Amino acid sequence: MARTVWDSSVGKKTVMAVSGLIMLSYLVVHMIGNLKIFFGAGEFNHYAHWLRTLGEPFMHYEWTLWVIRVVLVVAVVAHAVSAYQLSRRDIRARPTKYVHSRPRASYATRTMRWGGIILGLFIVWHLLDLTTGTVHSGGFQEGHPYQNVVDTFSTWYGNVIYIVAMLALGLHIRHGFWSAAQTLGAGSRTRDRALKATANVLALLLTAGFIAVPVGVMTGVVS
């Protein structure tokens, strides 16, 4: 049954919708946590340490964090694979492009695929920068996330990469949330307006919330 569901277009869209909502939930929590940087190094570093002790003493040090990481990796892979396979299926079904683009297609809809690629590349860079420190500028300091964030956004390319990715994220959420609601059967003629408004608000708040951090560093509010 699982294989039959996965092989169907509806099944792949459902996987995309559920995995997308899991990632969206994480992004809301992650953004709120990021904004703690405006309360100073002590507050931000304490929050980062708390994440590693979450669930203690029942869970060992960092176990809960690793559970969250595994769930996110599974969600990202499932989302990307189902999106790629649906895209290939659409191309096989329509090998030649339409002469004219669909007039009602929004900018976010037309850029969903490119936005997904941008976000995928950003995730890799973001992990190498602030998790492993592999591409970090200014000397990565283990256990000092506040200083690491300031170092990253003290470079022009760190700001450009992050802001471009967050703009792509906003567009992705704006279309993806409403699309997921339709796939999971939450949409209707009476609820569509509310769902679209919710998608717009979520996209705006998350984009602004994430971009606030590099802007804070650039303006000296965070230093």
| Residue 22 pLDDT | 96
pLDDT level of residue 158 (50, 70, 90 thresholds): very high
pLDDT tens for each residue of 34-53: 999 999 999 999 999 999 99
> With 0-12 CB in 10 A as exposed, 13-18 as middle and 19+ as buried, what is 64?
middle
pTM: 0.88
Strands (DSSP E) contained in 20-84 are none
Spatial separation of the C-alpha atoms in residues 145 and 131, rounded to whole Å: 9
**DSSP, residue by residue, 155-181:** SHHHHHHHHHHHHHHHHHHHHHHHHHH
Q: How high does pLDDT run on average in the chain?
A: 88
Q: Which of 110-114, 190-194, 205-209 has the lowest mean pLDDT?
A: 110-114
Q: Look at residue 178 in the predicted model and tell me its pLDDT.
A: 85
Q: What is the pLDDT of residues 97-126, one digit of tens each?
A: 555 555 455 555 567 788 889 999 999 999
In the chain, the N- to C-terminal Cα span, in Å, equals 55
pLDDT at site 138: 77
Q: Considering only residues 106 and 164, tell me which one the structure prediction assigns the higher pLDDT.
A: 164
